[in-house]
Amino acid sequence: MSHPHPDLGDPPPLASGALRIVALGGLGEIGRNMTVFEYAGRLLVVDCGVLFPETDQPGVDLILPDFGYLRDRWDDVDAVVLTHGHEDHIGGVPYLLREKPDVPVVGSRLTLALVEGKLREHRITPYTLEVREGQVEQLGPFRCEFFAVNHSLPDALGVAIGSDAGVVLHTGDFKMDQLPLDGRLTDLGGWARLGRDGIDLLMSDSTNAEVPGFVVPEREIGPVLDEVFRQASRRIIVACFASHVHRVQQVLDAAASHGRQVAFIGRSMVRNMGIARDLGYLTIPPGLIVDLDALTDIAPERIVLISTGSQGEPMSALARMANRDHRHVRIEPDDTVVLASSLVPGNETAVWRVVNGLTRWGARVVHKETALVHVSGHAPAGELLYVLNLTRPSNVMPIHGEWRHLRAHAELAVQTGVPRENVVLAEDGVVVDLVDGRARIVGAVPAGYVYVDGLAVGDVGEESLKDRRILGGEGFVTCVVVVDSVTGKVAAGPEILARGFSEDAAAFEDVRPLIEDALADAAREGVADAHQLQQLVRRVIGKWVSDTYRRRPMIIPVVVEV
């Protein structure tokens, strides 16, 4: 197998007739999916998603791919192809279009509708090209053929990218549900046809590569939801992804059959379900949906709320309910809460915090550990083996997964007969060239995290996050000293202010004389530079705090010259 190497240098110029593949996100992580294909000096981008921050990234709202690789080549980009409408595949599109507003955005009907809904909030009007399964589009030198794939939202696509360098099949996110609610199967026949003609590189979803067997059909959740509804004596609150149209449809069907009315909670849920309804992907009986403000007039045993917040996001509707600070919904004893989603890696602690908060107020919480209220949208190992055997690719590059998923998928490829040296294990930024039917790692480009913090994009870096972690974990200490600008002698202070360190007002009394002595010694030696005195104060306080408390707060010395 080819392995990424920390000493990889810049890639060489792309050879004539070769295809270059650069993943700027989605390899070694769940999210931020974005891959750039280059042929004959032209570029094609597949997906542009976001990654959601973890607890060690305080204050960050979203994490974007690094567009630096494209920044000097925007005019070479022929299109951005979107495989489906999940945030980890489309969430970065508004930020990309800020830099290149006229790049064509290509996707299915629902995917483009979800993207356009996001872009309206950013006041961006995109140039779009709607495609559907079975369609072929020539995008610059890239011949793109689109295939239906079954996933956890409608209208998902895989794409075969053809050029004179060969054929790459990018599966997008997929599974092989044989009884899909919308009747839309993954196009295995189309993939088999491609395989007979020859697939030079298979880039395939790896999320569930460690999970044996085949996926449970989505429709099996229906009877479970029906039983949950039958047992519920008061309100039912269902939390799921705001894009999971199939799951919401099953909740709506259960509510209708049990004589309950439904309200959507959360801006993205209201927006996405409105789009799905308008486009015909969601069937809602007349009178079933009510506005949140109307809930006070409906008996609790006749209410269903469909909410965002299944991942424990701090500001989501469900988290606010758990904290009892939601404007419309107050959790009461015997309410039933259904978490109809998976746990995205890294969100476990936040989710269980919300579950505990809901349970504290007397709610019954149903989740995937206690009932079949969620099935994955990603193909497990049995289905990945099926696709590998069906397509018989010359080279395989596992995508969309953490390292354990990529390695597990790589081993599956080897088991089906793909030569070990033809299985490419790469990470974000690693450059892979397809030359004469062989895929090889040839270098690396920068592909770090770009943080979105409020309206600022890229202003927060690792140093800022380090400071935030210190402030969050250790607090800060500020020391203000006024010194004579000529002699360096202390004229006033030191005054010490601490936050997040100690509530004892006298905690720093013992360090004041140490600071005064150090400054007096500096004055006798003729040290009067404010910067040098600041460093001196920082060292004195830092050593004292470390020796006394074994802690390392952020220390901010302020020396004022008079």
Tell me the pLDDT tens digit for each residue of 187-197: 999 999 999 99
In this structure, the answer to whether residues 318 and 388 fall within a common structural domain is no
Cis, bond preceding 494 (omega within 30 deg of 0) = yes
Query: If you average pLDDT over every residue of the chain, what do you get?
Result: 87
d(CA 388, CA 373): 30
Which of residues 334, 366, 398 is at a domain's end? 366
Spatial distance between the Cα atoms of 560 and 562, rounded to a whole number of angstroms? 7
The bridge status of strand 364-366 relative to strand 336-339 is parallel
Residues 6+ apart with CB under 8 A from 174: 149, 150, 151, 156, 158, 186, 205, 378, 379
pLDDT band at 319 (very low <50, low <70, confident <90, very high): confident
**Structural domain includes residue 545:** yes
Distance CA 300, CA 319 (A): 20
Structural domain contains residue 25:
yes
The 10s digit of each residue's pLDDT in 407-448 is: 999 999 999 999 999 999 999 999 999 999 999 999 999 888
pLDDT tens sequence across 462-500: 666 565 555 556 677 888 888 777 666 777 778 887 777
Give 369-419 pLDDT, tens digit per residue: 888 888 999 999 999 999 999 999 999 999 999 999 999 999 999 999 999
- Are residues 397 and 321 part of one domain? no
CATH number of the domain encompassing residue 349: 3.40.50.10710
Same domain, yes or no: 252 and 347:
yes
Q: Residue 400: give the domain boundaries.
A: 19-213+376-454
Strand 476-483 with 136-139, pairing:
unpaired
> 397, 428, 454 — which closes off a domain?
454
Separation of alpha carbons 395 and 413, rounded Å: 9
* 5 occurs within a structural domain: no
427 and 450, same domain (yes or no): yes
Rounded to whole angstroms, the Cα distance separating 392 from 362 reads 54
The model's pTM is 0.82
Give the integer Cα–Cα distance in Å for 440 and 433.
Answer: 6
Higher pLDDT, 137 or 315: 137
Assess whether 547 and 481 both reside in one domain.
yes
47-61 tens-digit pLDDT: 999 887 655 555 566
- Claim to verify: residue 324 and residue 382 sit in the same structural domain: no
Domain boundary among 339, 366, 393: 366
Q: Are residues 27 and 119 in the same domain?
A: yes
208 & 222 share domain? no
**Number of domain units in the chain:** 3
Residue 543 falls inside a structural domain: yes
User: Which among 74, 81, 87 is positioned nearest to 46, based on CA atoms?
Assistant: 81
Q: Is 13 exposed, middle or buried (0-12, 13-18, 19+ CB in 10 A)?
A: exposed
- Would you tell me the crossing angle of helices 221-231 and 245-257 to the nearest 10 degrees? 40
